[in-house]
Structures are given as structure tokens and as C-alpha cells.
Amino acid sequence: MADPDTDLIQAVLAGDTAQFEVLVQKYSPRVFATARRYARREVEIEDIVQEVWSKAFQKLASFRGEAPFEHWLMRLAVRTCYDFLRGHQRNREHTFTELSDPERDWLDRFGADPAGTSEDADAARALVRRLMDMLSPKARLVITLLEIEERSVKEISVLTGWSVSLVKVRAFRARAEMRKCLAKLNRNAYL
Amino acid sequence: MDLEKLEAKLIQAARNQPVSSHVPFAFEKRIMARLGAVRSMDLAAFWARSLWRAAAVCLAVSVLLSLWSFTSHGSSETITLESTVLSMAEQLSDNW
């Protein structure tokens, strides 16, 4: 089945750059959703998405049409998000003495009754964000794609450009890194 | 605390959290404006790069010619070349 975007892409490559706006309008929601997994500030999210579209425009001639345009664009988006993570590595040494009261309360309740603690609580979501911020860019990318978005190893390999074996190795290391962070959480929650 | 269960719980929390796909108003217009600006800048950048490269090449050629001219001034090859060319010219003028 022909990609419905092929005509638009051909028009842009032929010089009718105004048609690119149609692609931007169509796929920006998906690109924004992807960027929001990796950045929190809206300014940074917009920068990421602008960078994605800028790269898409520059590299449009390299789109061969073997897969849908959306897949090609998402690969670009994931790699741009990864570059963003690498460029914005903050001091990840969050000490859990910085935990807010709701976060501590949630952890206390979880310790007492794991099954009865809601994962939909704001405190749980805040803890997840804190945990993600602690991870290295590689680990964060793999955990987000593999565990949170529940993508297959093969899909991750296509999105990131890493080989399947490299994805598996990085997934193993990312899980180990996350466990270390959780152990730190456990130790410091009771300080 | 069971860390495996904590990990599973927090991952589930992340999965349940919806991610907004909201696009700011007129975002596509901003993108198109930015792409237009980038294209114009690229043309100017292309010309600037080309001119700088041409200038570098001309400078290199000038330096080489200067060196050659400096080192070959009064050399026997130049004198031989010069005298050969001039003697031919003299011969031509004599025959003429």
C-alpha cells in the first residue's frame, strides 16, 4: 500500500516546500508526545520538536519510502531526544533527602502495603520522574522505550540505530542502573 | 522494602501517565518560517564558504609562485631557458 505522504514528499523535493507544512501539521502531535517523554520544560520540548522538523526537512531526500514516513520521522525524533538527553545531562546525584512529603508518604505506604498503594497517585508519578532524571541518557532512553512504551527490542533497534544485541546489553545495564537508583531511594527515604 | 515490586509499581505509574500530544498554536507556521530562514542563511553560508576556499587556493598559488620566483632567480635553469628563448628570437630576427 502506497504511503499517502509520498505525494507530499515528492512535491517538497520538487521544490514546493509549502507542502512540508502539511506534514508538520499532521505529525507534530506525535513528535510532541515523544519529546514530552524526555523533557519537561515546554521551551525545551519545543526546541526538540523544531530540531526534529529541521532535520526532517534537510534529510528528506534520504527518505526512500521503504517504510511509512511516520516511522522514518519517529526514528529521527527518538535520536533527537537522545541527543537532547546527552546534551542536557544535569547533575544526576539527586539525594533523596530532597524527597517531598507526599513522595515520602507514598513510599511509606508502599513499604507497609505494596499492593494497596495506587500507582496513579501524583506522588508516584513524581517519583517516576525523579527516577528517570537520575538515569544516564542511554538508560533513560532504553527504559522509556522498552519498559514504559513497551516496544520490542527489534523496534528499539530500528528507532535508535543500535544493533539488536546492543539494545539487549543496554537494556540489561539500564535495568541494573535503575535498581541501583531504587536502592538509593530506599536507603535515603528513611533518613 | 521489596525493590522489584517498587520498580514494577513505578513503571506502571509511568505507563498509566498519559503524555500530552498538544501542539502550540500556529506551531507549523513557526517551523516553516524557521526553515525559510535557514535556507536563506544556507545560501549565504555556501557562497561565503566557496569564496573563502577560493581565496585560500589563490593565496597558496601566490605563495608557491613567489617561492619559485625567489629561489629560481639567477639559477642556471632560468638562464638556460632565458638564453634559449632569446637566442631563438635573435635567430628569427636575423633570418627576418
- Among residues A87, A119, A144, the one where a domain terminates is A87
A176 is a domain residue: yes
- Smallest Cβ distance to A114: which of B5, B14, B31? B5
Residue B84: the pLDDT is: 67
Mean pLDDT of B32-56: 82
Residue A135: the pLDDT is: 92
Looking at the structure, tell me whether residues A100 and A183 fall in a common domain.
yes
Looking at the structure, tell me whether residues A68 and A137 fall in a common domain.
no
The minimum CA-CA distance between B74 and chain A, rounded to whole Å, is 57
Instruction: Specify the number of domains making up chain A.
Output: 2
Looking at the structure, tell me whether residues A30 and A77 fall in a common domain.
yes
Mean pLDDT of B2-18: 90
Looking at the structure, tell me whether residues A112 and A166 fall in a common domain.
yes
- Which chain B positions have a beta carbon within 8 Å of A186's beta carbon? 1, 3, 6
Looking at the structure, tell me whether residues A101 and A32 fall in a common domain.
no
Q: Please state, in angstroms and rounded to a whole number, the distance separating the CA atoms of residues A82 and A159.
A: 11
DSSP string, A54-98: HHHHHTGGG--SSS-HHHHHHHHHHHHHHHHHHHT-------GGG
Shortest CA distance from B20: residue in chain A: A33
Could B7 and A182 be called an inter-chain contact, meaning their C-beta atoms sit closer than 8 Å? yes
Q: Please state, in angstroms and rounded to a whole number, the distance separating the CA atoms of residues A170 and A177.
A: 10
* Residues counted in chain A: 191
A49 is a domain residue: yes
CB contacts < 8 A, A to B, total 97
Looking at the structure, tell me whether residues A101 and A130 fall in a common domain.
yes
Q: Which of residues 15-74 of A touch B (CB under 8 A)?
A: 17-18, 20-21, 24-25, 28-30, 32-33, 36-37, 46, 49-50, 53-54, 57
A1 is a domain residue: no
- Among residues A63, A87, A111, the one where a domain terminates is A87
Q: Please state, in angstroms and rounded to a whole number, the distance separating the CA atoms of residues B20 and B16.
A: 12
The phi-psi region of residue A58 (left if phi > 0; otherwise alpha if psi is between -120 and 50; otherwise beta) is: alpha
Residue A95: the pLDDT is: 46
- Among residues A24, A57, A87, the one where a domain terminates is A87
Q: Which three cell numbers stand for residue A68?
A: 511509512
Which residues form the domain of A180?
96-189
Question: What are A124-160's pLDDT values in tens digits?
Answer: 998 998 899 889 999 999 999 999 999 999 999 999 9
Looking at the structure, tell me whether residues A57 and A117 fall in a common domain.
no
Q: Does residue B61 sit at the A interface (CB-CB below 8 Å)? A: no
Looking at the structure, tell me whether residues A128 and A152 fall in a common domain.
yes
Q: Distances in Å between the alpha carbon of B5 and those of A115, A139, B1, B76?
A: 9, 20, 9, 92
A167 is a domain residue: yes
pTM for this entry: 0.76
A113 is a domain residue: yes
Is residue B78's pLDDT more than 70? no
> Domain ranges in chain B?
44-70
What's the number of CA atoms in the CB half-sphere (13 Å) around residue A124? Answer: 21
A143 is a domain residue: yes
* Residues counted in chain B: 96
Give the residue ranges of chain A where pLDDT is below 50. 95-96
A174 is a domain residue: yes
